[in-house]
Each structure stands twice: as C-alpha cells, then as structure tokens.
Amino acid sequence: MTTLTRCAVLAAAILVFGALAAPAQTYLDLEGQVHEFTLDNGIRFLVVEDHSVPVFSFRTVVRVGSAHEVRGITGISHLLEHMAFKGTSEIGTTDIKKERKAMEAEDAAFLALKDERNKGVNADPEKLAELEAAYEAAKDAAREFVVSNQYGEIVEKNGGVGMNASTWTDYTQYFYSMPSNRLELWAYLEGARMSDIVLREFYTEKEGPVTEERRMRVDNSPMGKLFMEQFQNLAFEASGYHHSTIGYRADLDNISRSDGREYYDRHYVGPNITIAVVGDVDAATVESFARKYFKNVPDGEYHEMETYEPDQLGEKRMNVAQDAQPLLLMGYKIENIEHPDWPVYQAIADILGQGRTSRLYTEAVKNQQKAVQCVSFAGYPGVRWRTMMAIMGIPAKDVSAAELEAIVDSEIQRLVDEGVTEEELAGVKQRARADFMRGLDSNNGLAGQLAMTHAMTGDWRHLFREVEQLEAVTVEDIQRVAAEIFTDNNRTVILSENLES
C-alpha cells in the first residue's frame, strides 16, 4: 500500500520525534511495562505507556497471509490489505444503501463476464464485448457513490502519519502514528475496518494497483519473477509457501468480491488479531476504547494451514537462460520459528551471509571478486511453518551463476567440516543484541515487535527471550545443525544465466 502523504509539517515533526523518543532502558525493564488484555471476541491487546512525547504508534497484525490461500484465490490476502483503506459503511460513501445495490449489479456483471471469458477459445467474441461493456458500466455506476481516500484523509487531518500496511506469507499488518489526544478516533477507525469493511472498488483495485504491482515486481522483473515466484514454486510442493504473496495473474483476474468477503469473514476474526499500542496513552483508557470500538469484530476461530510440506527426497534444480542479470538462488529446508534450533539457524545465516564480514561476502565479493552481492537469511518465505535457509548471489560481470554456486558450495562445506570460531559466534551475539535493542528504541518499532512476536509465536514474551536463546547457542550447535541441513537432498537451486553467456 502506498504510504499516504504527510499532513501539517508541525504534526509530522512531533510524531517523527515521538517515534524516536522511547526512553533508554533494559529490555527486562521493558517487559514488565507491557499491559495485556484480551477482549471477549479474542483480540489480544498489548499496551506500553511512554509519556515522553504526546503521540502513540500502533501495530495491528492479522495472522493471515498468502500461506493460507488456496489455488484459485492466490493474492487475495494482499488484495484485502488494499481494501482495508477503502473505508467502511460510514466512511468512503455518499449513500451506502445505493452503493451496495450498485455493487450487487457490479458483481453480477463481473461473474457473467468471467463465465464467458473462461470458455477460452470457445468464448463468443460478440458476447464478450457486450459483457465487457456492461461490466465497465457497472463499475462506473458503483464508483458514483465512492468518496475516494476518505479514510486516509481523516487520519491525516487528525495528525496521523506513516499510514501503511503490508502482507506476507504469514501475516497482514497495519500501522501508523497519531497524536495521543486522538486515541478514541483511532480506536473507532481501526475497529471499524476490522469489523465493517465494505470491499468497495474491489474490481477497480485488483485490476489496477494490485495487478500493476504484480506486473512491476514479477512479470516485468526477471529477478523478481525468479525470487518471488519460481523459487517458491520449485522449493515447496504442498504447503502454502508454494505461491508468492502477489498471487498468480489468472487468479487475480478471476477473484470475485464474494471470494474476498468469504476470506475476510473467515480470517479477520478476534483470535486472529493482535494489536499493540505504544506511546503517550493510558492502558486503562486504551482498554475502555478497545471494548467499545472493537466489540463488533466476530470471535470466530483461527484456521491453521492444514497442508504441510513433506520431506524432500532429492535436490530440486532449475536452469534458466534469459536476457537478464545472472542470478543464483539456493535454499535448504529448515524447521519453523518454534523449533529449538531456530536461534542456531539465525546464527548460521549471519555467519554465512549477513553483512560485509560474512563468509560468503568475504570470499565471493572481496577475495575472489566473483559476485557483487551474496547473502543468506533464515526464514524464507515465512517463519510459521517448515521454511528455508535461503542464499541469493548476484555474479560479477562476466561471471556465471554456476561459478558463483561453486564458491557458495565450498563455503558451505567448509562450515560443515570445520564449524565456526568462538569469535565469529561472539560477533553474531553482539550484533543480535544491538539489533534487538534498536528494534525496541521507538514506539513504532516496539509496537511492531510485540504484535508480530505474539502473532507468530503465540506469546509476546518470546520477544524478550530471543537474546537469551541466541546467547545459549554454541559452536557445537552450529556444526551439528549445519551438517543436518546442508545436504544435497535438502537443496533447491535456481541458476539463471544470461542468454549471451
């Protein structure tokens, strides 16, 4: 979602300052300052008071992402993220009753066009033209009742900044910052879009901004198509990690508003939602407003992804020749964020390919000058289910992806055979502590970490155990886990070479 423009310069300056003004303290002190309550419908609230500046930030994390989608509706989680900015039955419309009637006609016109279009070569061209004209007319009629961007304008006119959202495989999240004297307005606005979404301009949005986003990030980007789509397609055959968050073009073309409504009703329920509020607020007041304005969110139940990824029986490999920058993608299956070895995965990824002192960067980029970049990270494309230790390398000029793969293989084998040094592991732990504290050193950052940790692990307190768990990792753990995961049968590889090479 495109970040909205800032409002008054003074309000923006105050809010930006407030986002940087969280008091210095140890994370153990901070843990004791988290106020927690759960509404009757299951929404979990986490509140941290910081009265240094009259602003607050929030993070709403809905535990639904593209991993929960099935084929036919891929991309729908991301599409619903866009819908959440379109308003409610009270915001964004001149007449909700007439608008709903117009949207019903729009739905009927879309389904008629879809049925004929999906006949493929047997579709009647004249009928298609008539149905397309009727569909465009129905969209125009529905838009007559729309007040564009009214939701965002209300936020901005009341001093809100940084309004944005994102969707990934495991979650959808919403966030912005606001002056503390607008807390009740925030509760009304956020509670309404979690319970009273209208899905207006559904077809206009999916055929416009959402499809354009796919075109720019995937269809017209050779690197994006390989990394964001083909890599996942190849590595995962069963779980929801198989497809990318942006969705397949054919699914985007065919998703209906009723598909969106059914998906929203299934997943936007209380037990699926965690909201963190951090800043110049009173926890009791937050709870009072939460119980008033979020009570209409249905309780429902959380629907876990049911199809799990089977063990991989052998290496998966794809060789691609295209008129584009060569690229190396490698992935090794690892377990999810709740596995005891998760901190070990993170340490391995750090030592192997994070930063300019990492082994891959040192050898491939600095020493041999065979790459312009080579990185690794644990948890692609998600963290809640069996996932990957991913490696991405961009070869230097006149260097093939196969040459870079040989260097990466050599470094991985060296890690398996020789392990790592105590100094390397100490560096990982030092960087992790620093990164962790930086993540807590702002209202927005703390709200995001609290809400995301609770949504991904089921308990926000795990956030304050991360440093402790990583401190417990030993060099023996690194070598043991490296030997387990870095095997040929556990590997997925994509080599993309330039057509002229």
Per-residue pLDDT averaged across 82-99, rounded?
Answer: 97
The pLDDT tens digits of the residues spanning 419-468 come to 999 999 999 999 999 988 888 889 999 999 999 999 999 999 999 998 89
**All domains of the chain, ordered by start, with CATH?**
33-206+255-293 (3.30.830.10), 316-498 (3.30.830.10)
- CA 248/CA 250 separation, integer angstroms: 6
Instruction: Indicate the pairing of strand 161-167 with strand 172-179.
Output: antiparallel
- CA 419/CA 300 separation, integer angstroms: 48
The pLDDT tens digits of the residues spanning 2-51 come to 333 333 333 333 233 333 333 345 666 888 999 999 999 999 999 999 99
**Residue 249 · residue 210 · CB < 8 Å:** no
- Going from the C-alpha of 501 to that of each of 208, 325, 326, the distances in angstroms are 37, 11, 9
Q: What is the per-residue pLDDT for 20?
A: 36
- Enumerate the β-bridge partners of residue 283: none
- CA 190/CA 88 separation, integer angstroms: 10
- CA 35/CA 282 separation, integer angstroms: 10
Q: Which residue stretches of 196-326 are H helix?
A: 202-205, 211-214, 222-225, 231-235, 249-254, 257-267, 283-293
**The amino acid at 199:** L
Q: What is the per-residue pLDDT for 440?
A: 84
The residue with tokens 């901070």 is 30
> At 225, is the pLDDT very low, low, confident or very high (cuts 50, 70, 90)?
very high
Q: Which residue stretches of 308-458 are H helix?
A: 342-353, 359-360, 401-418, 422-440, 443-457
Q: Which is nearest to 388 in space by CA: 236, 237, 496, 246? A: 236
- Going from the C-alpha of 310 to that of each of 107, 385, 386, the distances in angstroms are 39, 12, 9
The pLDDT tens digits of the residues spanning 150-205 come to 999 999 999 999 999 999 999 999 999 999 999 999 999 999 999 999 999 999 99
Phi-psi region of 42 (alpha: psi -120 to 50; beta: other; left: phi over 0): left
Gyration radius of the chain over CA positions: 24
Global pTM value: 0.92
- Going from the C-alpha of 236 to that of each of 34, 264, 341, the distances in angstroms are 38, 25, 21
